[in-house]
Amino acid sequence: MLASTPSSLAPHQDDYKPRSWDEYGMDELGNWVHLLSKRATHRTNPAKRKKDLYDARNYLNMMDAKLKALELEQQKAEMEAILRERSSVMPALTCAVYEEGVPTLD
């Protein structure tokens, strides 16, 4: 399942190929968050510090989007398992004979 593009990337879409952010792995994104955050703590220029923190937040948003997609995949798998379990019980109920539009279990 593809992760939804974080809205915080919208201002930068013209600078990058579509969905290029999705080619980063979680470890790469985490490294960017770590390094940009660390660099921000070492900055003396407030504008550059602000930019580093802004960029770190965008990489964190990318990680969050990927995590949400994984959570949705997990939820989907759980729902499919429930449906499979229920469908194994349902055949007994589908043997109902309909008389005048009213189901009976003959």
- Provide the residue ranges of all domains of the chain, joining segments of one domain with +: 16-104
- Closest C-alpha to 36, from 27, 44, 48: 48
Mention the CATH class of domain 16-104. mainly alpha
pTM of the model: 0.71
What pLDDT is stored for residue 93 in this prediction? 54
Q: Any idea which of 7-16, 48-57, 60-69, 90-99 has the lowest mean pLDDT?
A: 90-99
pLDDT surpasses 70 at 106:
no
pLDDT surpasses 60 at 94:
no
What pLDDT is stored for residue 102 in this prediction? 58
CA atoms 12, 15, 17, 23: torsion sign: negative
pLDDT bracket for residue 32 (50, 70, 90): very high
What pLDDT is stored for residue 58 in this prediction? 94
